[in-house]
Amino acid sequence: MIYIVDDDSGARESLCFLLEAEGLEVEAFASAEAFLEKCGAEDEGCLVVDLYMPGMSGLDLLETLRARGNRLAAVVVTGSPSLAAEARAGRARAALVEKPFRDRGLIEAIRRSACAGCC
């Protein structure tokens, strides 16, 4: 399962379309808080999350998940990368992908993140 968390409805829909066209099962959420309401420590898959969202950021979400013992593979997407964000993503065991990205680049980042057998 690929979980998409992005506050931008157009971005969510585009990512769903792209990943479903690759034959992947996708579930989308409009906020980190909505995802946390659904997600449990035992959930498996890969999380594709926007870095900057109103409320809880994508990195805050990942840190919360890790503190709960959740081991989802993760890819953080952002249009404004920084060294600090890259360092936080690394500590949360997540790849950081810069927008705009090529479709194949994102798919490969998801597949690399899933090498641990999570997705």
Domain regions of the chain by residue span: 2-116
The more confidently predicted of residues 76 and 105 is 76
Contacts of 54 (CB under 8 A, 6+ apart): 7, 31
Identity of residue 80: S
Alpha-carbon span 92 to 88, nearest angstrom: 6
pLDDT tens, residue by residue, 13-30: 999 999 999 999 999 999
For residues 115 and 57, the model is more confident at 57
Q: Is the pLDDT of residue 118 over 60?
A: no
Q: Give the residue among 67, 20, 68 at the shortest CA–CA distance from 48.
A: 20
- What tokens were used for 60? 């805050």
User: pTM score, two decimals?
Assistant: 0.89
pLDDT in tens, 72-90: 999 999 988 889 999 999 8
Contact by Cβ (8 Å): 43, 71: no
More confident residue, 12 or 80: 12
Cβ–Cβ < 8 Å for 77, 97: yes
Residue 115 is predicted with a pLDDT of 56
pLDDT above 90 coverage of the chain, percent? 65
* Predicted local confidence at residue 105, as pLDDT: 87
Q: What fold does the segment set 2-116 form as a domain? A: Rossmann fold (3.40.50)
Alpha helices in the chain (DSSP H): 9-21, 32-38, 58-67, 83-91, 103-113
Q: Residue 41 has what pLDDT?
A: 67
